[in-house]
Amino acid sequence: VQLVESGGGLVQPGGSLRLSCAASGSIISMRAMAWYRQAPGNERELVAAITGGVTNYAESVKGRFTISRDNAKNTVYLQMNSLKPEDTAVYYCNADALTPGSGWYAKYWGQGTQVTVSS
């Protein structure tokens, strides 16, 4: 299973970005999908997750970020509005996927996409 993120970049404070993460490979089913981020010197932290129709968010992004998914495309999105400099980080996509012969869901990671919020 490969997860490929896109949509990162440089944006001014108050601006918006939309991240996408497309999963490919021999996938039978996908369960939870999520976005994490890691800023320099910090641990990787959960930003938002979606399982079925249920979403949860880090307190720091509630009301500003929205996670969604397109199950037909095995794709998860993160709409980020009202961006702040403290949102600057590498954003990673994460997904639980069931593949042929695996027996249970395994966790997969994307390569990350840089988001920089600066004037």
Integer Cα distance of 34 and 19 in angstroms: 12
The stretches in the chain having pLDDT less than 50 are: none
CA angle 87, 64, 19 (to 5 degrees): 65
pLDDT at res. 74? 92
d(CA 16, CA 6): 14
**pLDDT attached to residue 108:** 95
The whole-number pLDDT of residue 53 equals 85
Per-residue burial over 16-28, b if 16 or more Cβ lie within 10 Å, else e, is ebebbbbbeeebe
